[in-house]
Amino acid sequence: MRIAVHAMTKADWPMAEFEHFRRLEIACGRRDWPCMRSDDPAAIIAFTPDLVLVEHFIVPKLTPFPTLGLLWNPPGFWEGQPDYIENIVTYDGHLFADGATRRHIRDLIAAVPAGFVEGTWVPSCQAAPLPQGARSGLAYFEVGWDRGRHRAMIEALSKTVLLHRYGVPSRHDPPDLPPKTTLPFDGESVVAELGRRTAALCFHSDAHRRGGTPAGRVFEAAIGGAVILSDEHAFVREVFGDAALYVDSTAPPETVAAAIARHLAWIDAHPDAAEAMRATAHRIVSERFTYDRLLDQLPALTAAVRAGWASPPDLADQAVTVVVRSGDRDLAMLDRALDSLERQTHPTVRALVVAWRDADAIRARVAARPGRLPVRVIESPDNGRRSTALWTGLAAVDTPFFAVLDDDDTVMPNHVAAGLATLAAYPGFDLAYSGSVAVDEPGGIRSRLLLARFDATRFRTENFIASNAWVARSDLLRRAGPDPELVVGEDYYLLLRFSASARFVPTWRLTAEYRRRADDPSHSGFADKLPEAQTRIDRRLHFAPIDLPAPPHDVVAEAEAERILRKLVRRRRLRKGLVSYLRDVRGLPARLLRLPVFLARHGLRGVRERLLVRALRPGR
């Protein structure tokens, strides 16, 4: 298998996620599985993985490959954040570290008719023999969750036990504490160092304790053979039982330090019992939680994802006509659009190419195409109005379902099947629409563009459904009306016509690829015509029954209050993230040097998301 890890940030930054990737890479190498990690979806697509593992919930599914989200963070990290929750729902499946998170996600996806799969994942390490030899001292990795939260306890502890601190030295470190040792992020040094220590302090953040989500320290300690000294944590208690020692980390710092010191004294006084604990913990992780073991499930889960992309059995034989207009663009784009239809998992997709210019060249191009996709070419007048070609295509649809695809856009392999699955699950709805991934060409930079619950009132003034994002029942065609003779805006107008009497439902899949080319006049040449088109659309719909009755005042007030609150919370987190960014003086020069490249690739939205991630890290 080829495994790609979709990172939330630059792939080689010295952070816990990079360390865990190095361990995963070692485990994959033992199977001869190629493995890569990148925050660039274009690089992931070029790698052509069999499976993508999304590292964190701030990243949605952005590539056409089977994608599993690593839910190794507790729900408290993303609960109440609509964007993050929606990102999680876009995955094809989820890998959980604990039962509470599993139940939480099952609740979230219960109404989404997608073939989700699930498995297990923890921040672990590759398999290794239990180290033998002399051991001394207590290991404490002061990174990630802690951020100085336990400083008073550590100061008290350092006066009574041999303490080994690890992490990046800082000028803020108290001078009376043992200096930190910095270990390389190579996937092996941490476990090797733990193989020389008597015990390891494995404390969790408050959110991890509440959710029962384990941190990586317990697995590293077990493989390294350091006795686990954990705070009270449901997962550690359930999995390791008496093979670990426990401390009430909520007690006063001096009390916690004294309890840890007593545990270390017990270990020194009972070497045989301590050795048995090491062996048991090592066996538990080796048999269930090393990356070598966790990889075992991935081939079957990948196959299950692809099986879940199939159309619902009742609709598998129902043909879907996709209207594709073509005439003024490079025919290589038409080939690309048709290729994306060729790859659809729904077996009965048909392409209807409406040639409004160069029909002979288009017919010749289509005739030369290999493959199984049925393609029919019809002609439309070249009158300068985009709506004419669209309405010509709609009039030629003769299948139970239909969709639209611009010749410069594409859709992911499960796009049509996901739309049909949603319509099958909700037979009272007429049109199913997906979210959209923006693809900025020629670089291939990808980002989440549109993903929203349907709101008829909002849709009347804001189009959040891309032109290639939907699949509809052909009964809707009689509601399209005559050609509106629009130069631009015809896709939105068509959906507005439908929304006046039809019901729309989201698939919650990101399967439509909206390709943007700012320097291509065939893509953006009608921008100056939009105001006139919008005026005509408003005029045509003036008497249409689209506007809903105004909701009660208290409902409006509540919605507005919620919107303002979300905005305030987001602003506060942005400020918090910016303060963290600027106060981290040690890494600031390097980050500022990288900033222009980051802005070019991700834009200001990417900067905002990065600052929000910093603000969400526990202890900040």
Residues 14 and 89 in one domain: yes
Q: What is the pLDDT averaged over residues 301-320?
A: 96
* CATH assignment of the domain containing 258: 3.40.50.2000
Q: What is the dihedral of CA 374, 376, 382, 383, to 10 degrees?
A: -90
pLDDT of residue 603: 64
pLDDT of residue 137: 96
The model's pTM is 0.86
Residues 260 and 329 in one domain: no
Q: Which two tokens stand for residue 8?
A: 């939330």
In a domain, 550, yes or no: no
In a domain, 390, yes or no: yes
Per residue in 61-86, pLDDT (tens digit) is 999 999 999 999 999 888 889 999 99
In a domain, 545, yes or no: no
In a domain, 593, yes or no: yes
Specify whether the CB–CB gap between 280 and 180 falls below 8 A: no
Q: What is the pLDDT averaged over residues 151-180?
A: 86
Per residue in 445-504, pLDDT (tens digit) is 999 999 999 999 899 889 999 999 999 999 999 999 999 999 999 999 999 999 999 999
Q: What is the pLDDT averaged over residues 357-362?
A: 95
pLDDT of residue 548: 44
Residues 363 and 479 in one domain: yes
Q: What is the pLDDT averaged over residues 328-352?
A: 96
Rounded Cα gap, residues 512 and 321, in angstroms: 16
Last residue within a domain, chosen from 289, 322, 357: 289
Residues 382 and 528 in one domain: yes
Residues 517 and 589 in one domain: no
Least confident of 421-425, 526-530, 611-615: 611-615
Helices (H), 325-480: 331-342, 359-367, 386-395, 415-425, 456-461
* CATH assignment of the domain containing 533: 3.90.550.10
Residues 526 and 597 in one domain: no
Q: What is the pLDDT averaged over residues 20-47?
A: 96
- At 226, which helix (H) or strand (E)? none
In a domain, 548, yes or no: no
Does the pLDDT value for residue 404 go beyond 90?
A: yes
Residues 419 and 473 in one domain: yes
Q: How confident is the model at residue 612 (pLDDT cuts 50, 70, 90)?
A: low
Rounded Cα gap, residues 489 and 487, in angstroms: 7
Residues 435 and 391 in one domain: yes
Q: Domain total for the chain?
A: 4
Does the pLDDT value for residue 549 go beyond 50?
A: no
Last residue within a domain, chosen from 492, 509, 540: 540
DSSP string, 166-222: ES---TTS-TTSPPEEPPPSSSSHHHHHHTT-SEEEE---HHHHHHTPPPTHHHHHH
In a domain, 549, yes or no: no
Residues 147 and 86 in one domain: no
Q: Which residues pair with 421 in a beta bridge?
A: none
In a domain, 359, yes or no: yes
Q: What is the pLDDT averaged over residues 597-611?
A: 66
pLDDT of residue 444: 85
What range defines the domain where residue 593 resides? 562-616
In a domain, 429, yes or no: yes
Q: Which residues contact 615 (CB under 8 A, 6 or more apart)?
A: 573, 574, 576, 577, 580
Last residue within a domain, chosen from 492, 508, 540: 540
Does the pLDDT value for residue 418 go beyond 60?
A: yes
Higher pLDDT, 618 or 112: 112
End-to-end alpha carbon distance in the chain: 38
Rounded Cα gap, residues 57 and 71, in angstroms: 8
Per residue in 231-269, pLDDT (tens digit) is 999 999 999 999 999 999 999 999 999 999 999 999 999
Residues 508 and 368 in one domain: yes
Does the pLDDT value for residue 566 go beyond 70?
A: no
Q: What is the mean pLDDT of the chain?
A: 89
pLDDT of residue 618: 44
Residues 216 and 334 in one domain: no
Q: What is the pLDDT averaged over residues 174-197?
A: 90
Residues 361 and 487 in one domain: yes
Specify whether the CB–CB gap between 392 and 378 falls below 8 A: yes
Q: How confident is the model at residue 530 (pLDDT cuts 50, 70, 90)?
A: confident
